Amino acid sequence: MWEAIRRWFDPRDLRSVGEPPDYRFSLANERTFLAWLRTGLALVGGGLAAAQFLPPLPLTHLREVIAVALLLLGATVAVRAVDHWARNERAIRLGQELPASRFPAVLALTIGAGAVLLVIAVLARAVGAS
Amino acid sequence: MTGGSGGLAGAGRDPGLQPERTRLAWRRTGLALSLVTALAVRLGSTGEPTDTLIAGVAVLVWGAALVLCWPRGTGTGPARAGGRTLPLVALATVALALLGALLVVRGLW
């Protein structure tokens, strides 16, 4: 694992495999990475906003749990963005198929499940208040 | 597109404006980093010395990330693809997330 992390920070290692690709492919890969990074930043921003703009919730520390969960999810998305970028670049240079990934589906299901839980919490609160 | 010429010579005539689009993507990312940092600083503005310190570190991380992003968001030629900038900017994002989590957890006591 540490070897893989060291490789992310070593551009020479990445350039040592395969053929130099059409620069447009590399730039497209870079933009994909940036789009993922902004997705991660949006989650981090959401976590920071939840921590300071949500009113205290009926369950103890639920607000803090939501905030930390979003922050950690954002950090995970950022790390995974680097990993996927490096693996894409390698595949492009070697003329192989781009690596498949379950991550987008898992992320979408996680966020969807979180949203459904929050809807239930809001409805339960509305029913409890009336 | 399949040739893999690898050269940057024809960049100025790229009908897809790939370098331009990549520069704009870097600028959007810099903007997102700034927004996140602003939120972190607001969360850290409690007057507590520890919170101020954490917010200060977040501002330093933001500054370093912007210095990294800048050459890629400006300039005229196509940026050289790849390199160390990408993992470093991702590292800055992770750092901001962890500093934010620290602020949230610290607010509990």
Is residue B5 over pLDDT 50?
no
Kindly state the tokens that stand for B46.
């409690």
Chain A residues close to B94, C-beta within 8 Å? 75, 78-79
The conformational region for residue B6 under phi > 0 = left, psi -120 to 50 = alpha, else beta, is left
Residue B9 in any domain: the answer is: no
Contacts of B93 (CB under 8 A, 6+ apart): A37, A40, A41, A44, A74, A75, A78, B33, B36, B65
**Nearest-angstrom CA–CA distance, A97 and A61:** 46
Min distance A107 CA to chain B CA atoms (Å): 17
Closest partner CB to B97 (pick from A27, A31, A72)? A72
Q: Does A38 touch chain B (CB under 8 A)?
A: yes
The conformational region for residue B70 under phi > 0 = left, psi -120 to 50 = alpha, else beta, is alpha
* pLDDT value, residue A5: 83
* pLDDT value, residue B6: 43
A 109-128 residues with CB < 8 A to B: none
Domain count, chain B: 1
Each domain of chain A, given as residue ranges in start order, spans 9-99
Quick: pLDDT tens for B56-96. 999 999 999 999 888 888 865 555 655 788 999 999 999 99
* Domain coverage including residue B65: 17-77+84-106
Is residue A97 over pLDDT 50?
yes
ipTM over 0.85 threshold:
yes
Min distance A130 CA to chain B CA atoms (Å): 30
Residue among B98, B103, B76 at smallest CA distance from A78: B98
Residue B11 in any domain: the answer is: no
